[in-house]
Amino acid sequence: MRALILGIGGQDGGYLAKFLLGKGYEVYGSSRDVHLMSGRGLHALGIADRVSLRSMAINDFRSVLTVLAEVQPDEVYNLAGQSSVGLSFEQPVETMESLAIGTLNVLEAIRFLSPTTRFYNAGSSECFGDTGDTVADETTAFKPRSPYAVAKATAFWQVANYREAYKLHASSGILFNHESPMRPERFVTRKIVAAACRIAQGSKELLTLGDIDIHRDWGWAPDYVEAMWAMTQQPQGGDYVVATGRTVSLGYFIESVFAELTLDWRDHVRSNPKLFRPSDIRHSHGNPARAQAVLGWRHQLEVEDVVREMVLYQLNKPVAS
């Protein structure tokens, strides 16, 4: 089996590549410019020399068509595009182009070149918006509250339309938050872990964050890539919520990180309203019942385990990485 992972340089791309290699796949990966891609995750996971890389701009149809024609994959995993909710407020057009137009380009290329290729698209729980007391599942209406979420919702419906209209094996994983040491430090979870470890090692810095009373369902990224693969193995494509089913506050995440280092977070963290997003999700709750029943998927690590793994990696990672 041959898989093509679009956006292989990101957190999920690296873990998915490692998982598929373990399944015996021949793995190809793409990035806008592989010569500029850091490849930090692939190297950290020990698989950089086992993956064949191609440059591809997902918002350029000719680029997408060329790579798919060359690689001829059995499965395509679309993890590419602008991935930061916060940055999407600053770059809404690029966000829409890379996520919505990019997904459309891939769907069209598959329809023209290889309609039997199985396609996975990275959806997002951000599409649901603020769930409040509701536990979101595959039937819950989307109410996006950021340019990122609007773009992801657009891509989701494109996938559903191509599955229905052209009978493609196309699936969307509506993934809730999932973390790992492979996250860049611009993501708040990694930012917290990195700062806490520096403080534990003697730094006198004060960590300033935005709203710490938001609530999220945090899982472990290596668990979640297994759900992606499971979707492509089903007789037909479909949409699945992937989550732990447990939601905690960002404040709890912060407290857990500092507690791992025997520190009191209240001595080192401040919340600044100036850093709040123009609109944000207060509560995000997911129901993974369908993924559990149909895919046989279960998360393995709870949020406390995720925190522990991220802290241990941060404390022991090579200085030069």
Q: Show which residues are catalytic.
A: 124, 126, 148
Inter-residue contact 210 to 271 (CB < 8 Å): yes
What is the distance between the alpha carbons of residues 140 and 42, in angstroms, rounded to a whole number? Answer: 35
Instruction: Kindly state the greatest CA–CA separation across the chain.
Output: 59
**128 in helix, strand or coil?**
helix
Under 8 Å CB-to-CB from 298, ≥6 apart: which residues? 292
Q: Rounded to an integer, what is the distance from CA 61 to the centroid of its chain?
A: 23
Residue 114 neighbours by CB distance under 10 Å = 18
What is the distance between the alpha carbons of residues 18 and 181, in angstroms, rounded to a whole number? Answer: 15
What is the distance between the alpha carbons of residues 299 and 142, in angstroms, rounded to a whole number? Answer: 24
Residue 192: both structure tokens together: 């917290």
Ramachandran region, residue 245 (left: φ > 0; alpha: ψ -120 to 50; beta: rest)? left
> Which run of H or of E encompasses 215?
strand 215-216
Q: How far from each other are the two terminal CA atoms of the chain, in whole angstroms?
A: 32
